[in-house]
Amino acid sequence: MIIVFLLALTIVLIITFFRIEKSLNLFQNIFMYFVLSFLITTSFDILILNLEYIKLSSNFYLVLLFFLMQTSFFPLIIILYFNYLSASKSRLQKFNLIILCLASLFLIEYTLLSNKIIIYKKWTSLKSALYWISLLLIIYLLNKAFNKSISDEVDC
Amino acid sequence: MLPLPKSFDKNEIFLITVLFLLILIIRFLPKRFPKVITILILLEAFTIARLADHLLASAHVMGIDFYDIMDTGKYEFFGLFTYLIFAPFGYLFVYLYDWIKPRGVYLCLYIISWSLFSTCFEWIMVLFDIYKYKNWNLAYSSIVYLVVQPLTILFFEFLIREYNKMKE
């Protein structure tokens, strides 16, 4: 059931992502996708394999689903957030967006947790919050640096 | 977080040497692409390598742990260097493709030659204990290269098309 639900959710997100008009240019979106995929898979590998803070389910399909989440759901949510952020004008809108983005990430993480796809060992929800906020900050800075380096070639 | 090698031996020395040589080659090659295309091609090769290893080499729990990278089964600091090596190779692959511009049967030959070259290079990496195969062999790797390399060309063509559209 959970596999079908999360798969459907991911497919809906992918379709939505490609259908909506994005305020960042194509190259920025591709750049963010690659960086996010790398950072998310790397950080989860460090947490699961090296530090053993999080345990992964032993079910093959659930682990594949988790891989799908790391390489599609999480990065796309964050890319969507940055697209809306660059289009938003007021501070309130920006604040609402960050809350919405973090809530979506948490909700999915909670779904993974409650269905035992991932199990916290020495990890907590607070650490998770810090992790997602740091990730957003890193992507924001890297995107800025990327923009700066390509601004003479492409209109950003 | 990212363990250092148990002993600094042949695999680490090989990785650093090859990476240094590749950076030198790329540094002195005449500039062929806009900066944005170069960055994205380097990132694409780097990320594809990372995702492949993440799926095939770090999933211990589900019994499809096909190979280990470097000294331990963990995600090591020098494991990052293996992905960094793929970035310049991806760039050289696209650079030569854009220079030669193979079409038709020559494009097939180009991809097959690069897949053979990549497989041979991976064999050298196996000899230097960078990859330690468990349930994997070079034939599987060559198939992966045969799939990834045409995709890289498609990605490059897409980037060039979009870049030209944006410039118009």
Where do the domains of chain A lie? 2-17+24-148
| Cβ neighbourhood burial of B105 (10 Å; 0-12, 13-18, 19+) | exposed
Token duo for residue A115: 């269905």
Say whether A60 sits in a helix, a strand or coil. helix
Q: What whole-number distance in Å separates Cα of residue A17 and Cα of residue A79?
A: 9
Label residue B62 by pLDDT band (50, 70, 90): low
Q: Provide the residue ranges of all domains of chain B, joining segments of one domain with +.
A: 10-26+35-167
Mean pLDDT of chain B: 89
Instruction: State ipTM.
Output: 0.91
Question: B75, B2 in Cβ contact below 8 A?
Answer: yes
Chain B contact probe: residue of A39, A50, A54, A68 with most B CBs at under 10 A: A50
Q: Closest partner residue to A27 among B3, B40, B61, by Cβ? A: B40
The answer to whether B39 faces chain A, any CB pair under 8 Å, is yes
Label residue A119 by pLDDT band (50, 70, 90): very high
The strand pairing partners of A54, in sequence order, are A120
Q: What whole-number distance in Å separates Cα of residue B85 and Cα of residue A47?
A: 24
Task: State pLDDT tens for residues B109-127.
Answer: 999 999 999 999 999 999 9
